[in-house]
Amino acid sequence: MSEVTGENRRAKALEAIDQLTDLPTLPSIAARVSGLASDPDITIQELKKTIIIDPPLAAKIVKTAGSVHFGRRLPVKTLEEAIVTIGLKNLIIICNSIGFFQSFEKWESHNIDRKDIWKHSLSTGFLAKSLEMRKSGTSSSNVDMFLVGLLHNIGWLVMDHLFPEAVGILLFLAETEDEWDIEFEKEYIGMDHAEVGAIFLKKWGFSDEISEIVRCHHNPDASEKLAFHSSLIEISATLSKHQTPLEIGITQVNDNFPHQLKNTKGDIAIAEMKMRYVKNIEQADTLMNYLVGWL
């Protein structure tokens, strides 16, 4: 019998991802809205015609537009009013979020609490977008940081689908160990969730940029051109108010993330950032709680 090594596990993991055929499918309405949004000449009427054929989605958009987050004094009565109130960028966020939630429903959940993953991913995405705007001028990419935040832990869903027994062991370790270590994932899977997610996203058709940020979000220095973005996701995931048992905190704030921290190490840096970015963190958590009500 041949010895099972980390290299063997990695090769088997790569093969399993490569042979994955039952890829999630983004609901057609969400995909069409995102596609239309790239057209600079898109009209409200065209968006309405696309959305209105999905009554549950249309109802959620109208309800969202009437929420306190958009400062409406009068109730939103029509889908046209809702689209104008929300704005194109927020409309894409809503459609993408719902689309990704729904697209993984055909995969059975073995060990991972998907609602926990989505809560953390949503809050990370909103916070990453907020902090990116706060650090304006540092970004040299057109990557949507909300989308990257939404996808950064997708590797856990893929691993739970392909390697449920190993993920069960990892969850047990997460409950019994004082501190989570990403090396556990490499030992039992052959690679960590960040790399699994990056490989899967490329197979799923996402850009090299998104894939690279996901791959490097626990090791920003490994990215040549997108180290700031990778660091932004790492910090946003750490500062998110909703944590899963499998989250990995930072031991050192990466130099690619612009900051004026007195101390950049571990818990001290995290505590200072939580104070400095408290409004951003609270807003991200509020928006997450609103959207997660649709899950």
The rounded mean pLDDT for the chain is 84
203 and 64 within one domain: no
Which of 103, 127, 147 marks a domain boundary?
A: 103
pLDDT by residue (tens digit) across 165-205? 999 999 888 888 777 778 889 999 999 999 999 999 999 88
pLDDT by residue (tens digit) across 92-134? 777 777 778 878 888 888 898 888 898 999 999 999 988 988 7
3-state secondary structure the chain: CCCCCHHHHHHHHHHHHHCCCCCCCCCHHHHHHHHHHCCCCCCHHHHHHHHCCCHHHHHHHHHHHCCHHHCCCCCCCCHHHHHHHHCHHHHHHHHHHHHHHHHCCCCCCCCCCHHHHHHHHHHHHHHHHHHHHHCCCCCCCCCCHHHHHHHCCHHHHHHHHHCHHHHHHHHHHHHHCCCCCCHHHHHHCCCCHHHHHHHHHHHHCCCHHHHHHHHCCCCHHHCCCCHHHHHHHHHHHHHCCCCCCCCCCCCECCCCCCCCCCCCEHHHHHHHHHHHCHHHHHHHHHHHHHHHCCC
Q: What is the domain range of residue 188?
A: 6-21+108-292
Q: Band the pLDDT of 142: cuts 50, 70, 90.
A: confident
pLDDT by residue (tens digit) across 31-43? 677 667 667 777 7
Q: Band the pLDDT of 138: cuts 50, 70, 90.
A: low
Question: Average of pLDDT values for 58-80?
Answer: 74
135 and 81 within one domain: no
pLDDT score, position 86: 77
pTM, entire model: 0.84
210 and 137 within one domain: yes
pLDDT score, position 5: 62
Tally of domains within the chain: 2
